[in-house]
Structure 1
Amino acid sequence: MGSEPEPVSRLIHAVRPGARVERLELFFDLVFVFAFFTITRSAVRDLTAGGLLQGLLIIALLWWSWCAHTVVANRVRLGDGIAPIAVFASMAAVFVIALSIPQAFRNQPGGLYEPLVFALGYLTVRTMHLALHWYAARDDPPLRRQLRRLALSMLVATALLVLSGLVPEYVGGRHQTLLKFTFWILAVAVEYGVGMAIGVWGWAVASAGHWVERFELIIIVAFGETIIGIGVGSELTGESITWITVLASVLDIVILAILWWTYFDVVGPAAQSTMHGTHGPARVALARDAYVYLHLPMVTGLIALALGGELQLRHLGTVGVDLGAPQPDSAVPLTYSGVALYLLGLIGFQLRALGTLLWSRLVAVALLVASIPVADRLPALAALGILATVCVLLQATEFVALRQSRQVLHEAIRRERAAHERRETQWRREPYR
């Protein structure tokens, strides 16, 4: 949601309508892979309602800071001029935030006060992006007014995080935890609430292709974290591989592959076409609603799936395990609800971007939620098999129902890709001027 591209300056270069994602932006995403992974590692040590709520709140603030980065990247070429300095400073801050995640709600004696480390790291990341955006908008008074509102919300949210780290320490007792969560929830509410309340006035999406590609890539990053989380968290590296481990691993990949397919086969490309065909305030509203807000449950769902998946794979990977033994607590609720949450986010994304609804996905969500009490009493391999079966049936149903639409869409994508490649080839053959 950057403003309309401005002339290139000596210090920054503006994004143009046909811009694509730069390599530096992908490099920046690597620290978020580590942050997502750290959230999973922290949550697995505290599988309580409070521990999971902590993870959700941390994900929400990390996601908001990543979106702020993407907003700037849609206006300023982050690989040129002074922009890389801000990117590298933000990466360092996110890395420090990730290290502080396990103790973001309670301090570990013997080092820095980690709740404040998290708060100051968050302030640093947001400040870097706002400062760069402020400079880029120096000739755009309406956008600067919007940035002042965002800066105020950032300061209020950071103050609430600081209060969460300091005030409860002087309260003690059973009210301490409640007070911490209250401050955190208010911080998240301020950021997201102001982001929605300030509206679309003064904003614009300079490159629809860049915007869509950034969010598609962060979804792939979340898929990557899920695979790493399940594999590393299972603690099977270096252990003997059994047929049970192989089968469970294949089922996990089947589930992830189908979830990937539900986004990138039809809905994602169709939403990209909609973004290209929408302009002005309507494009900004679409970018905000469909991507900033409705991609968050998808990322959260994948992280929950990673958490539950590692519990199941670790249990099944034990040599000589009794297949009938009760599976780990929370494994089924996390895996099933993670897939359901991902699909719900995707349903909302499709409804907002395309105005259409696939009932097969709603049925799959309802079936998954209803199956949790039953699957939770089954052996782990059976529960994982049921989840994979629901995903396979979903994909098979949509493959048949959307066959004609898929053919039309994919043919249009192939023609567009071929035309783009021809233009690029022709341009590169022209003599350098």
Structure 2
Amino acid sequence: MSEQATTTPTDDEQRGASTLELFFDLVFVFTITQFTHAFGHEPTWKSAGTIALLFAVIWWMYSGYVWLTNEVAPSTPARRTVLVVGMFGFFTLALAVPDAVHGHGVVFGWAFLGVTLVHAVLFRVSGGDDASAAILRILPTNLAAAICMVIGGYAHGSATYLWWVGALLVIGVSPLLSTARGFVLRTKHFCERHALVLIIAIGESIIGVGTGLAEETMNLQFFVQVLLGLTVIYVMWWSFFGNDNEHGEAALDDLPMTDRTRTALIAYGYCFVPMLLGIVFAAAGLGMAIGQGERQASWAAATALSGGVALYLAGQALFRAALGLPRPWMRLLAAILAVLTTALGVYVAEWVQLAAIAVVVYGAIIVDDVIGLRAGERSSYLAG
């Protein structure tokens, strides 16, 4: 671990994600699965707020590890070993998530401090001179946030949330107030890592929904609802991977290195938070909706489903705006249409809401694709 990286800004630009990094992403996405299960068991506004708060804090450090491996490839036994230690820390965070407020907050806090320290050590020891100096500039902020998380774990009641909100404010605001000088962004690797975590999260949502349906009566109506649920998940996949994944990488790659890091932080850091939280809530809503027959949904279930899809699309609208991609308003329109289906689940039936989301959201996305094709936009999925 004593070697210094000699990579220059243009070296190894086309390096893709390694299988160890994919393994790391799988461990991180287990956290998303835990959040989905936690909300499914307690679908309340307080639970949703707690999940959003904890996820945003965890995402900050996961994103930090993406920046780390973007700079320092896990190409030596020492680096791989330290990265595995970081994976263990994230796995511990995931295990503590369901009961972080009521009993496992101490474990959560210390695990968060652990992944923060591992991140800083590997960046400082194995990064280049500029990256090492950069990590030292942001380390006090990261440590301050981690200490807030530890103290919050020992606190009780409202004090716990105050400490955790403090941690989020520290790590959320500080990057916008400081310079990104010293970090080198390799676009292909960086975008691939974020795309991987997104597609794994979408896939995990299918697993999470499916595991809760084993006891349901498998009649025709059941399979129609399953098909509608899978369609909604497919629509969420298509909305990003049909065009925006490819166009986002190209837009980021076209920026000069001095502007690339700040834009990447906003587009793939901040904007991915609502997208991934949308997957959490949509998956929980699907789990509560599928298999319910003609029953009307509770407000919690209907709002989780429509709100999760809407949150995902709103995050994508912000992603488009941050990278200068066309028509972010079309994703906002799709988000509004998703929210409007809530009443169908509550007053008609849950499967009707599922069908409505699939139709109106997919319709909005198809219209957006047609507009793009007529404007000359192309992607690997929309060749021609």
Matched, 1:286 2:263: yes
Correspondence 1:15-26 to 2 at 5 A: 16-26=12-22
C-alpha change, 1:71 and 1:15, in structure 2 (3 Å) is farther
C-alpha change, 1:314 and 1:128, in structure 2 (3 Å) is farther
Between the aligned partners of 2:357 and 2:223, the Cα distance in structure 1 is: 17
Asked whether the equivalents of residues 270 and 354 of structure 1 are also in contact (C-alpha less than 8 Å), the reply is no
Letter in 2 for 1:38: Q
Deviations 1:137-195 (A, max 9, x none): 3633xx44432232212221122122222233xxxxxxx2x222111111111112122
Matched, 1:389 2:368: no
Matched, 1:90 2:78: no
Q: Secondary structure at the match of 1:194?
A: helix
Asked whether the equivalents of residues 205 and 279 of structure 2 are also in contact (C-alpha less than 8 Å), the reply is yes
Q: Secondary structure at the match of 1:117?
A: helix
Deviations 1:121-146 (A, max 9, x none): 11111211111111123633xx4443
Please report how far the alpha carbon of residue 390 of structure 1 lies from its aligned counterpart in structure 2 after TM superposition.
1.0
Matched, 1:200 2:170: no
Matched, 1:271 2:258: no
Matched, 1:190 2:167: no
Alignment partner, residue 417 of structure 1: none
Matched, 1:344 2:314: yes
Asked whether the equivalents of residues 146 and 198 of structure 1 are also in contact (C-alpha less than 8 Å), the reply is no
- Structure 1 unaligned residues grouped into runs of 5+: 9-13, 108-113, 169-175, 317-322, 415-433
Asked whether the equivalents of residues 304 and 337 of structure 1 are also in contact (C-alpha less than 8 Å), the reply is yes
Identify the match of residue 129 of structure 2 among 135, 139, 145. Answer: 139
Q: Between 64-73 and 367-376, report the one with greater CA deviation.
A: 367-376
Letter in 2 for 1:218: V
Between the aligned partners of 1:213 and 1:165, the Cα distance in structure 2 is: 34
Asked whether the equivalents of residues 112 and 146 of structure 2 are also in contact (C-alpha less than 8 Å), the reply is yes
C-alpha change, 1:315 and 1:238, in structure 2 (3 Å) is closer
Please report how far the alpha carbon of residue 84 of structure 1 lies from its aligned counterpart in structure 2 after TM superposition.
0.6
Deviations 1:266-304 (A, max 9, x none): 222111112222222111112111111111111111111
Alignment partner, residue 26 of structure 2: 30
Task: State the structure with more CA Rg.
Answer: 1
Please report how far the alpha carbon of residue 94 of structure 1 lies from its aligned counterpart in structure 2 after TM superposition.
1.2
Asked whether the equivalents of residues 230 and 307 of structure 1 are also in contact (C-alpha less than 8 Å), the reply is yes
C-alpha change, 1:60 and 1:16, in structure 2 (3 Å) is same
Correspondence 1:150-299 to 2 at 5 A: 150-168=138-156, 176=157, 178-205=158-185, 207-232=186-211, 235-237=212-214, 239-299=216-276
C-alpha change, 1:386 and 1:86, in structure 2 (3 Å) is same
C-alpha change, 1:131 and 1:244, in structure 2 (3 Å) is same
Please report how far the alpha carbon of residue 398 of structure 1 lies from its aligned counterpart in structure 2 after TM superposition.
2.3
TM normalised by structure 1 equals 0.82
C-alpha change, 1:239 and 1:43, in structure 2 (3 Å) is closer
Asked whether the equivalents of residues 290 and 348 of structure 1 are also in contact (C-alpha less than 8 Å), the reply is yes
Correspondence 1:310-325 to 2 at 5 A: 310-316=287-293, 323=294, 325=295
Matched, 1:44 2:40: yes
Q: Between 381-390 and 236-245, report the one with greater CA deviation.
A: 236-245
Asked whether the equivalents of residues 309 and 335 of structure 1 are also in contact (C-alpha less than 8 Å), the reply is yes
Between the aligned partners of 1:413 and 1:195, the Cα distance in structure 2 is: 38
C-alpha change, 1:412 and 1:16, in structure 2 (3 Å) is farther
Asked whether the equivalents of residues 298 and 341 of structure 1 are also in contact (C-alpha less than 8 Å), the reply is yes
Asked whether the equivalents of residues 343 and 361 of structure 1 are also in contact (C-alpha less than 8 Å), the reply is yes
Between the aligned partners of 1:392 and 1:194, the Cα distance in structure 2 is: 37
Asked whether the equivalents of residues 68 and 129 of structure 1 are also in contact (C-alpha less than 8 Å), the reply is yes
Between the aligned partners of 1:38 and 1:412, the Cα distance in structure 2 is: 35
Matched, 1:372 2:342: yes
Q: Percent identity?
A: 23
Between the aligned partners of 1:293 and 1:104, the Cα distance in structure 2 is: 23
Instruction: State the superposition RMSD in angstroms.
Output: 2.3
Between the aligned partners of 1:145 and 1:212, the Cα distance in structure 2 is: 24
Letter in 1 for 2:273: L
Q: Secondary structure at the match of 1:315?
A: coil
- Structure 2 unaligned residues grouped into runs of 5+: none
C-alpha change, 1:405 and 1:263, in structure 2 (3 Å) is farther
Segments of 4+ in structure 1 off by > 6 A? 411-414
Please report how far the alpha carbon of residue 407 of structure 1 lies from its aligned counterpart in structure 2 after TM superposition.
6.2
Alignment partner, residue 117 of structure 1: 107
Please report how far the alpha carbon of residue 20 of structure 1 lies from its aligned counterpart in structure 2 after TM superposition.
0.8
Asked whether the equivalents of residues 157 and 190 of structure 1 are also in contact (C-alpha less than 8 Å), the reply is yes
TM normalised by structure 2 equals 0.92
Please report how far the alpha carbon of residue 15 of structure 1 lies from its aligned counterpart in structure 2 after TM superposition.
6.8
C-alpha change, 1:216 and 1:309, in structure 2 (3 Å) is same
Q: Secondary structure at the match of 1:402?
A: helix
Between the aligned partners of 1:133 and 1:167, the Cα distance in structure 2 is: 31
Between the aligned partners of 2:368 and 2:128, the Cα distance in structure 1 is: 49
Asked whether the equivalents of residues 333 and 376 of structure 1 are also in contact (C-alpha less than 8 Å), the reply is no
C-alpha change, 1:33 and 1:314, in structure 2 (3 Å) is farther
How many residue pairs match? The answer is 379
Q: Between 79-88 and 295-304, report the one with greater CA deviation.
A: 79-88
